[in-house]
Amino acid sequence: MLKTIDLRSDTVTKPSQLMREAMMNAEVGDDVYGEDPTVNLLEERAAKIVDKEAALFVPTGSMGNQLAIMTHCERGVEAICDSLAHVYHYEMAAAAMFSGVQLHPVDNLHNDLGLGNLKDHFRDPQSFFPRTRLICLENTLNRDGGTVMRPEQMAAVYRLAQEYGLSVHLDGARIFNAALYLQCDVTDLTAYADSVMFCLSKGLGAPVGSILAGPKDFIAQARRNRKAMGGGMRQAGILAAAGLVALNNTALLIHDHEKARHLAAELSTVPGLKIDLGKVQTNMVMVETENMTAQEFVEKLSAQGVLVGTAGKFTVRFVTHLDVSMEDIQNAVEIIKEVVAYKNA
């Protein structure tokens, strides 16, 4: 039987045996009363890892980002983000829906090109413009193919934000991938944001869960907002236990990066496919299709057991993770070559 090779996202991993055992044995309590020892331990450890005063366990990365926006901003203000940002493209306009916040996308915010113009996007408070209140960064930048933002770039944004009295939130869903690529400590990146969200349920392999970290009073308010959003979980230690195991998986991400590099190198030689190898920095590969649409390519691969996702009309996204081996990647490469050769013939 055809073995499915699922490269749609690093969210598809299934919890390891170790995680399942940790979940089964977790000590739990009612977290809404602050009485779940496993959640408390996860929040304490997570805060330390990103060097923030406090942390909050949330069900999803989206909720973490949205709580950050809700907690940093009053209604009717603007939050600046990269025009490729997850908060802008993939969170169902939640900032508008739940926080009354308008997102203000800026091209190339993540590289030196956009950084030079960032100040021009801050609104003049003397006019009828909405007030600028927050800058959301994303590292790695998903829609750009998992590219990293260097600490110097983050520092430049942070300095400017401080100068203008703005807050900075970091969507660090894959911040450990960024730190690994940059060969720096994760705190060298999180230092340049007031709040940070990171995901346990992506490359780190937990079934559920993300962390929002920041100053104590900010997290206290975010905790109230989480409850208002229906995210106050009870015996959530069952899930936090998997999160604690996931925190030990950061060193494994190196294999995901190797697999992505291998996949990209192989596919870059295939006529009909185009890859910017310079952007293959972490666990994603963006492939441009020349002779068919992304949707057609996805369907043809899916029929052969290789699952991938579209990221544009002619762009397909491949994501490596814990549950695909180098052998799976090699098998996927052979299948892709056949599918493309058939189409080119």
Residues engaged in binding ligand TLP (CB under 6 A): 9, 11, 60-62, 65, 86, 90, 138, 142, 171, 173, 199, 201, 210
Residue with smaller CB distance to ligand TLP, 81 or 238: 81
- Report how far Cα 5 is from the mean position of its chain's Cα atoms: 22
Quick check: 340 and 288 in contact, CB under 8 A?
Answer: no
Residue with smaller CB distance to ligand TLP, 60 or 99: 60
CB neighbour class for 145 (10 Å; exposed up to 12, middle 13-18, buried from 19): buried
Closest distance to ligand TLP from the beta carbon of 62 (Å): 3
Residue nearest to ligand TLP (CB): 61
Nearest Cα residue to 289 out of 299, 279, 303:
299
Closest distance to ligand TLP from the beta carbon of 312 (Å): 13
Quick check: 176 and 207 in contact, CB under 8 A?
Answer: no
Pairwise CA distance, residues 85 & 138, whole Å: 7
Closest distance to ligand TLP from the beta carbon of 84 (Å): 10
Tell me the β-bridge partners of 319: 284
Residue with smaller CB distance to ligand TLP, 284 or 340: 284
Please name the amino acid found at residue 197: M
Closest distance to ligand TLP from the beta carbon of 119 (Å): 25
> The tokens 């739940």 sit on which residue?
98
Within a 13 Å sphere around the CA of 251, how many CA atoms are in the beta-carbon half?
Answer: 2
Closest distance to ligand TLP from the beta carbon of 156 (Å): 21
Residue with smaller CB distance to ligand TLP, 9 or 132: 9
Residue with smaller CB distance to ligand TLP, 267 or 284: 284
